[in-house]
Amino acid sequence: MAGKNSPWGKPPQGENSDDDSGGQTGGDSDSGSQDGDTPPPRGPRNPWLPGGNASSDRPRRSASIDNIFKNRGPEGPRRGGGGGPGGPNFHFPSRPGGKSWLPLIVVGIVALWLVITSFHQIGPREQGVVSTFGRYSHTIGSGISMTLPWPVQQVQVTDVTSIRRESIPESGKEKLMLTADQNLVDLSYLIRWNIKDLKQYHFQLADPDETVREVGEAAMRASVAEHDLDRVLSGAGRAEIEQRVRERMQEILDAYRSGVAVQGIEIEKTDPPARVVDAFKAVSAAQQAAETDINRARAWAQQILAQAEGDATAFDKVYQEYRLAPEVTRRRMYYETMERVLRDTDKTVIETDGVVPYLPLPETRRRNSNDGDNNTQTVTSTGSQ
């Protein structure tokens, strides 16, 4: 069935046909091949070949896998040989004159990188440590400074003036410390510090903040162990402990070459442990009551002593008068004694004869006093009405 009009072209040589026309065709093909004037065989368009003129005189060829995917994209086959954005035929926009913008963009990026990494603005409270390939180079102060670009040199800017605070322990936790009299106290305090040497602060210690906390706790425990519980709880003892802790911390941090200056210690709370707080309050109340009784007894003793001293002084004066006039002084002392003894009795003693046998002077005096009280109450009640 393959013949002149076959869509698959000329059949291979040597293939015979059952009819005469097939044989004749084969003969014609042989003669054409011999003459060399016969055009190359043509057939239908290969769907795997790139687009173009189907009547081209080029011989058919098989499509490679690279050519198949070269002209295809996520949206499907590309037509007309043009590539979409980002495709194989994408071209960067050109400057007037045909030159590319890419060199200028690269130069701009490099210049911006040099400016950003070479110029540094340091605040008035800050300092910067410059390191060259990780090794310390120098320290820069406030203002605008220039260094080599990153990664050749790096700058670490730190606030060295502001006071930093470390609260020990953290809120809600208990920190028990042992006193000199073997008692426990729950103590919380605040450490105030700042940076005095930025080079040592960055390169001498792995974690300066944690070092300050640990040194502060060690100094506080050592200072509290030197005082009794009562002194730790008192104001004067707390002030002494704060000063001693600050001195010890500074000595240790200077030995570490930490570059840290301790500005002060503030003890915020000194309480007994939570498990014995009730017993501690009872003991404190008993101590306060005992202190009150002691103060009252001392006051009474001072009063009695002063009275005794006054009586002794008065006796000395009377004795001096007695030495001058013994009889007169003896009689005066007798009268004063009898007056003091008989002052509150209901009897009146009269030594003269011929007096009325009984004169109710005490009843009269008592009646007069009662009448005076009644009059006072009446006046008071009338005034209130």
| pLDDT above 80 for 358 | no
| pLDDT above 90 for 314 | no
Determine, yes or no, domain membership for 267. Answer: yes
pLDDT value of position 225: 92
Query: How far apart (Å, rounded) are the C-alpha atoms in residues 125 and 155?
Result: 16
pTM of the model: 0.49
Q: Are residues 237 and 272 in the same domain?
A: yes
Task: Give the percent of the chain with pLDDT over 90.
Answer: 21
Q: Are residues 191 and 209 in the same domain?
A: yes
What value does the mean pLDDT take over residues 70-85? Answer: 51
Task: Give the percent of the chain with pLDDT over 70.
Answer: 66
The total number of structural domains that make up the chain: 2
Report the chain's mean pLDDT, rounded to a whole number.
75
pLDDT value of position 24: 42
| pLDDT above 90 for 81 | no
**Band of residue 153 on the pLDDT scale cut at 50, 70, 90:** confident
Q: ∠ at Cα 232 (229, 235), nearest 5°?
A: 135
Q: Are residues 170 and 152 in the same domain?
A: no
Query: How far apart (Å, rounded) are the C-alpha atoms in residues 143 and 120?
Result: 8
Query: How far apart (Å, rounded) are the C-alpha atoms in residues 16 and 14?
Result: 6
Determine, yes or no, domain membership for 138. Answer: yes
Domain of 225 in residue numbering reads as: 164-278
- 207-to-140, 169, 204, 254, 379 alpha-carbon distances in Å: 22, 18, 9, 15, 87
Query: How far apart (Å, rounded) are the C-alpha atoms in residues 59 and 54?
Result: 11
What value does the mean pLDDT take over residues 67-71? Answer: 57
Among 202, 217, 127, smallest CA distance to 166 is for: 217
Query: How far apart (Å, rounded) are the C-alpha atoms in residues 319 and 313?
Result: 10
For the stretch 198-240, pLDDT in tens is: 888 888 888 999 999 999 999 999 999 999 888 888 877 888 9
Q: Are residues 234 and 151 in the same domain?
A: no
Identify the three-state secondary structure at position 304.
helix
| pLDDT above 70 for 7 | no
Choose the final residue of a domain: 107, 141, 158.
Answer: 158
Q: Are residues 211 and 143 in the same domain?
A: no
Which ranges in 80-153 belong to alpha helices (H)? 102-118
- 195-to-110, 126, 190, 253 alpha-carbon distances in Å: 36, 10, 17, 11
Q: Are residues 218 and 129 in the same domain?
A: no
pLDDT value of position 383: 39
Choose the final residue of a domain: 251, 278, 305.
Answer: 278
Determine, yes or no, domain membership for 184. Answer: yes
| Residue 175, domain CATH | 3.30.479.30
Among 84, 160, 155, smallest CA distance to 121 is for: 155
Determine, yes or no, domain membership for 255. Answer: yes
What value does the mean pLDDT take over residues 127-133? Answer: 84
